[in-house]
Structure 1
Amino acid sequence: MNVLTAYRLPALLALSLALSACAIGPDYQRPQLQTPAQFKQIEGWTQAQPGDVLARGSWWQLYGDAELNALVERLNISNQNLAASEAQYRQARALVRGARAAFYPSLSSSAGASRSGQGTGSQNASSGTSSSSSGVSTNYDLSLNAAWELDIWGKLRRSLESSRAGFEASAADLAALKLSLQSELVQNYLQLRVLDDQQRLLDATVAAYARSLKLTENQYNAGIVPKSDVSQALTQLKSTQAQAIDLQWQRAQLEHAIAVLIGVPPSELSIAVRKQLPVLPTIPVALPSQLLERRPDVAAAERRVMAANADIGVAEAAWYPDLTISASGGYRGSSFADWIDLPNRFWSLGPQLALTLFDGGARSAELERTEAAYDQTVAQYRQSVLDSFREVEDYLVQLRVLQQEAGVQQEALDAARESLRLIENQYRAGTVDFNSVVNVQATALNNERSNLTLLGSRLTASVQLIAALGGGWQQQQLMDEPPTAAQQTVPDTVGTAAP
């Protein structure tokens, strides 16, 4: 290396580092989006800051069912869709490591031996004959090569930024899938328990109708009532028995769905019938829209906007020259005995600028593509936010209306029970016919089943609202500032907020 090169190389490095302080391409800014200061269906909501990094906690514990808690934990461990998404998450993490490795020099070595030959010939002018011979040589080569691409225009940094945003989007996708599967399992389980309660209702009704049939038969045998009353009582009994049998396949399907969600064949899971229904959780009257920002699907959509924004910088950097510093050295000789010897040593060191002068418009097309891809991700992000607000509004109004409906339905059920008590007493006294009893009994049973169906709808809507809000809440998350990293490692305690 001569003296001039020794001074030029440090100067070139200093210039490169100075230029690398800036990166080609736009810096990320969150897309503008109009969001309501509060939800239409509930008061007390405020503008939120990003909060998808907040811990979400075991929100399913709100329903107070130990068996449900155990099933969700099994889902978190054994669900195969989650396993596939987790593998995709690890792929995205590896891509980040690969993009970060481009910042460091690459080092390679090689060693080899080769034999080569070349034919030579001469011609005798007097005799007109020619002769030929071959020259065979052996070459031995041992070299060490290093190369380092300087990130002058920020192309490597933008690539890393894009990979990191893709990794974060993959993490959010994993969280979104887990929340969706947890929500599906909880809804199936709650509906299964509601079916258990309906089964108990129908079984009790069948027993009551059997007693009614026996009473009617006795009265018929005594000549008090006509044969038609016995037929009506029998018809009512068998119809209710058929309804009770119909619930069995519905419950079996829900049990099979839960088995697949926790990663086992349906034949390996049996959920015993239980008398106690899960509790309907008290939804906070006021939930800050900060919780909506914790939705992992919205977070994933924004991370993809960040990745697309960084890709624009990568495409713009293609218009600028790449600077690579390379060095190589080693030994090359024709004799193995003195191969590694000072006279056979060689080396080279120097920078290289590479610039594409003409590519037929490929770089322009790539830049146009990345800009269009960015616009696409922005539109998808805005749509995700709008959909999330719509879902919360839907479930808020659904829960409010169902609560009002449940109050009216309970009044109707109380009236039906009282009417049934009165009509049965009148029938025993012989003041009304059996047809009147059958009509009132059918009305009472329909109201009992409607009350249970309404409870199932309220339980399902509560799960859907929690999922729409990002999965649970706690007092710490109602504050303006998110918890620290140390707090995030502690499991959530899901609670409710006062109005």
Structure 2
Amino acid sequence: MNNKGSNSSAETPHNVRRPIFASSVGFAKRKSCWPFNPRPALVLPLFLLLPGCAVGPNYKRPPVAAPTVFRGPTETAQAQQASFADLPWWDIFHDETLTALIKTALANNYDLAVAVARVEQANQIVAQARSQYFPTLGYAIYPSYGHNQFIYSPIAPPSGAQGFLMAIARASWEPDLWGRIRRTNEGARAQLLATEEARRGVMLTLVSNVSQAYFELLGLRLQLEVANESKQSFTTTLTLVTQRVHEGLGNELQTSRAASDLASASGSIPELERQIALKENQLSLLMGKDPGPIDTKPKFLGEIPPEVPAGLPSTLLERRPDILAAEAAMKNANAQIGVAQAAFFPTFGLSTFFGKLSTPLERLSSSQTNAWSLAASLSGPVFTAGAITAQKQQAIASWEQTKAQYNQTALSAFRDVSDALITREKLDATRAEQAKAVQSNEDAVRLMSLRFTNGRVSGLDVLESKQRLYSSQLAISQTEINRRLIIVQLYRALGGGWNLTDAQWMAANSQPSTQNPPPSTKP
């Protein structure tokens, strides 16, 4: 016999005729409320014996196959307890300008304001769900004025119209026998937790986006400086080549090549200025301001942390806001299974009222006009054409969906960290080689210019060496920006700022705690 409250591991929650409490990843074994199939005729004598019983599975986090270490550089092969995410965001680059921009964004950003409003909505949903535990009280007053005439009444009706007044005080309460209200509250609290983690995720994303836009702006300005310096250099070369041609020591090909390189360098300047303006507008939007210029220090990129330990992969499950939000969604889906299961059982209610009826109005206080009632109700399903079963199966399917989304979110998080670690290592190696190339090209330009002055090489040789220097300078400036962008991405991938309170996120001047603080709005 398939018991309704069975916990048999051979059963699965996907069989309509079997209980939903069967062993499955994420479903905890629980004490059954009923050792038999619920039928109204059998449960009626027992409904008062089971106060506080909660049908449905208790939540248990499904196992996640987290790697022991992140894939990345050789030095991270050994697992480390410390994590780069333990640092507060303002201690990463020690850039006062960036810190000021982020603080402004955290105070004014509208996406964050939307997330905060959603948390408040979830708080009120929790309050509504909690109110179902308590009785409801109400009142009603019915004044009237009129004349009644009863043709066959032995008592003569009063002459003229009369005033009537009825006042009623009523109360009702639904005992949570099967845990429907309890599961509803569990789901509401899980939704609150999900919105709270989503809000923290918006804060982390905002810090990352401002940092990324800031470094991209610095990179564009560095490229603009390189373009202006190259323009000046090509202008000088064109002047020298033109002079040599006039002296009969060159040809028109050299002049045309010098003019072409100058035009190319000059043509890149308006495009870079356009990109700079758009990036400034992006930063202004993130800070909740109208589009406008952003002041930055010239030729300043800030420090790069020498070491960025990733910590243990398993810690991501407790630190990344998107993973925590996905788990909260699982908790809500798990609670909804209990809510759906409770629909199979009868609903018991208590209600009472006390009222007074008076005519005329001044006799309302008379005890002879009292009326009261105490009633109990019991209602339950008999035939629903499979609707309740379908609702239960829908809740189970929703649980399976959120579980898959949780596993996918965790898997993506492991990949994000590994990608960032690998990219950082390769960018460091790339930057080292590019620095050698820039130095070599600078030496080549210096030697070629000297030889050109002495008439030992043509103007084309000088132009080619300067073009190579220009390209190498642009390449290394972009790599320098990418090295900082990958630090930002790694901090976000690790769930940076997990140990900061809301006040610390905004103040940017406090030491983070060593333990994960509970969200401020968590019930």
TM class by shorter chain equals 0.7 to 0.9
Q: Quick check: 1:24 aligned with 2:55?
A: yes
The alpha-carbon deviation at position 229 of structure 1 amounts to: 2.9
Give the Cα separation in 1 of the matches to 2:430 and 2:223: 19
2:79: which partner in 1? 45
Please report how far the alpha carbon of residue 117 of structure 1 lies from its aligned counterpart in structure 2 after TM superposition. 6.7
| 2:299 paired residue number | 275
Counterpart position of 1:357: 382
2-structure distance, mates of 1:24, 1:402: 55
Determine if the alignment matches structure 1 residue 33 to structure 2 residue 64. Answer: yes
What is the identity, as a one-letter code, of the residue corresponding to 1:246?
E
Q: Does 1:288 align with 2:312?
A: yes
Is 1:83 aligned with 2:113? yes
Q: State the 1:436 CA deviation.
A: 1.2
Change (3 A) 1:205 1:30: same
Instruction: For residues 166-207 of structure 1, give each alpha carbon's deviation from its aligned partner in whole angstroms, at most 9, with x where no partner exists.
Output: 000011111112222221221111010011111112222222
Per-residue CA deviations over 1:383-417 (Å, capped at 9, x if unaligned) read 11111111111111111111111112112222212
Write the mapping of 1:134-149 to structure 2, written as runs, cut at 5 A.
Answer: 139-149=164-174
Matched, 1:214 2:248: no
2:262 matches 1:237: yes
Residues 190-236 of structure 1, C-alpha deviations (whole Å, 9 max, x = no match): 01001111111222222222222333333333333334333332322
In structure 2, what is the equivalent of residue 422 of structure 1?
447
1:63 to 93, 96, 100: 93
Instruction: Report the identity percentage.
Output: 30
Aligned residue for 1:12?
none
Pair 1:116–1:282, CA change in 2 (3 A)? farther
Task: Tell whether the 8 Å contact from 1:16 to 1:150 is kept in structure 2 after alignment.
Answer: no
Q: Which residue of 2 aligns with 1:10?
A: none
Of the three residues 138, 151, 159, the one matched with 1:108 is: 138
Structure 1 residues 301 and 135, CA gap change in structure 2 (3 angstroms): farther
Asked if structure 2 preserves the Cα contact closer than 8 Å seen for 1:37 and 1:47, the reply is: no
Contact 1:44/1:288 (8 A) holds in 2: no
Equivalent of 2:353 in 322, 328, 331: 328
1:468 aligns with 493
Work out whether residues 54 and 178 of structure 2, in 8 Å CA contact, stay in contact via their aligned partners in 1. yes
Per the alignment, do residues 412 and 485 of structure 1 end up closer, same or farther by CA in structure 2, a change over 3 Å counting? Answer: closer
2:102 corresponds to: 72
Q: What's the CA shift for 1:370?
A: 0.7
Q: CA separation in 2, counterparts of 1:471 and 1:86?
A: 20
The answer to whether the 8 A contact 1:197-1:277 is kept is no
Separation in 1 of the partners of 2:202 and 2:261? 46
Give secondary structure in 1 for the equivalent of 2:138.
strand
Q: Is the 8 A contact 1:60 1:186 kept in 2?
A: no
Unpaired stretches in structure 2, ≥5 consecutive residues? 1-45, 153-158, 515-523
- Aligned residue pair count: 457
1:94 aligned residue? 124
Partner Cα separation in structure 2 for residue 410 and residue 350 of structure 1: 87
Q: Distance in 1 between matches of 2:503 and 2:207?
A: 25
Residues 65/326 of structure 1: CA separation in 2 closer, same or farther (3 Å cut) = same
Question: For each residue in 1:106-155, what CA deviation from the matched residue of structure 2 results, as whole angstroms up to 9, or x when unmatched?
Answer: 11111112357777669xxxxxxxxxxx9977532111111121112111
* 1:146 alignment partner AA: A
CA distance in 1, matches of 2:328, 2:264: 57
Partner residue in 2 for 1:125:
none
| Compared CA separation, residues 96 and 395, structure 1 to 2 (3 A) | same
Residues 47 and 289, structure 1, Cα contact 8 Å, conserved in 2: no
Structure 2 counterpart of 1:277, one-letter code: L
- Cα 1:177–1:285 change in 2 (3 A) is closer
Q: Distance in 2 between matches of 1:202 and 1:193?
A: 14
SS at 2:106's partner residue? Answer: helix
Q: 2: CA distance between counterparts of 1:56 and 1:342?
A: 72
Distance 2:81 2:129 in 1: 36
Q: How far 1:47 sits from its partner (Å)?
A: 9.8
- 2: CA distance between counterparts of 1:190 and 1:304? 35
Q: Distance in 2 between matches of 1:203 and 1:389?
A: 42
Q: Give the unaligned 5+ runs of structure 1.
A: 1-14, 123-133, 478-482
> For residues 68 and 485 of structure 1, what CA distance do their matches in structure 2 show?
19
Matches within 5 A, 1:246-285: 246-267=271-292, 269-272=293-296, 274-285=298-309
Contact 1:194–1:452 (Cα < 8 Å) also in 2: yes
Query: Hey, what's the Cα distance between the residues in 2 that align with 1:193 and 1:47?
Result: 34
Does the aligned pair in 1 maintain the 2:67–2:313 contact within 8 Å?
A: no
- Shift of residue 313 of structure 1? 0.8
Match of 1:6 in 2: none
Q: Write out aligned runs for 1:406-421 (5 A).
A: 406-421=431-446
Counterparts of residues 293-312 of structure 1 (less than 5 Å): 293=317, 294-312=319-337
CA–CA distance in structure 2, aligned partners of residues 347 and 178 of structure 1: 57
The CA RMSD over aligned residues, in Å, is 3.1
State whether residues 109 and 145 of structure 1, in contact with CA within 8 Å, keep that contact through their aligned partners in structure 2: yes
TM-score normalized by the length of structure 1: 0.84
Report if aligned partners of 1:61, 1:69 keep a CA contact under 8 Å in 2: no
**1:151–1:157 CA contact under 8 A, matched in 2:** yes
Give distance in 1, aligned partners of 2:169 and 2:96: 64
2:482 to 445, 453, 457: 457
SS in structure 2 of the partner of residue 163 of structure 1: helix
Alpha-carbon separation, structure 1, partners of 2:267 and 2:260: 11
CA distance in 1 between partners of 2:291 and 2:395 (Å): 47
Structure 1: distance between partners of 2:65 and 2:49:
40
